[in-house]
Amino acid sequence: MIYGNLNDLIDSIEYGTKLHIGVLFLGNYGNEMLSLPRRKQIHACPICDEMKSRRGGFRRCFYCRNAAIKKAMETKEPFSGLCINGVYEYTHPVIINGEVASIIYIGNILPEKERSEKLIRKLDKSAGLIDTAEKDFSEMRCKTVSYVIEGYIRMSLELFPSRMVSKSFDRLIDNIKNYIEANIEFDIDLTLLSRIFHYSEKYLGRLFKKNVGVSFSEYLSSRRVEIARDLLLSCDDTVINISSRVGFNNVTYFNKIFKKYYGCSPSTYRKMKTLT
């Protein structure tokens, strides 16, 4: 069978299982056929969502995932283990021209009984969540799946090295934007991105402004405020919590930036939209 894109291939592999497979593209690797929805670039499954919703959960997951990214980039070898919450995950870096072009994650797997007790205790009050994880998927099967996905990625890059969405499209910028979306609630700066995407801070800054039309910091602020606006209208969370969820450590500063974009404070904006 020939799959039209990477998303179709992953859907086919996940079908009939409870696996969650994600792929993070780094540098300027990728093309239109390899584009994935956000849920396939991050850890998105019921157990992860529950853990992230708990106090400090987002931050713990962020540091855990970035530790895995760092290890994959340093060792350039596949590895497996339990995440900070006790879910089993297999991590497989794809190496092209000596660089880590992408990282494949195969997760949402319940480890063997002896190692799953910690996770079961954490989910004790969350009825049914433990049943949303795949219970029988060995490391060998993870390895087989990862090589199938790697093969598709390599084939796509070889056949369509420059197939792009539009003339102005830049894969490196798209990969950076995807990373921002997946980690919006954390401290993100050009220093961090330069380590992850293999380019200097100055180069990334210039390239970002050239392709996006605004500086990296301006883009980051605007996306944080846009996501905050959506949260204000879609949930009952407090303004303080929402400001933290989108990466503002100071609610006063968040109010100032929000007013700059929307002409009023977050609380006033919520009241106005609720009444209309």
Each residue of 84-104: pLDDT tens digit? 888 899 999 999 988 888 999
Chain mean pLDDT for the chain: 85
pLDDT band at residue 127 under the 50/70/90 scheme: low
Compute the residue count for the chain.
Answer: 276
257's CB contacts (< 8 A; 6+ apart) are 221, 224, 225, 248
As a whole-number percent, the residues of the chain with pLDDT over 90 amount to 39
Write out pLDDT tens, residues 231-271.
999 888 899 989 988 988 889 999 999 999 999 999 999 98
**Structure tokens of 234?**
């879609």
Sign of the C-alpha dihedral, residues 174, 223, 196, 62?
negative
Structure tokens, 192: 């961090």
Q: Which fold has domain 216-275?
A: Arc Repressor Mutant, subunit A (1.10.10)
Domain range annotation of the chain: 6-164, 216-275
Residue 101 makes CB contacts below 8 A (sequence gap 6+) with 25, 26, 27, 29, 94, 95, 153, 157
CATH of domain 6-164: 3.30.450
pTM assigned to the model? 0.74
> Which range (48-52, 91-95, 132-136) has the least confidence?
48-52
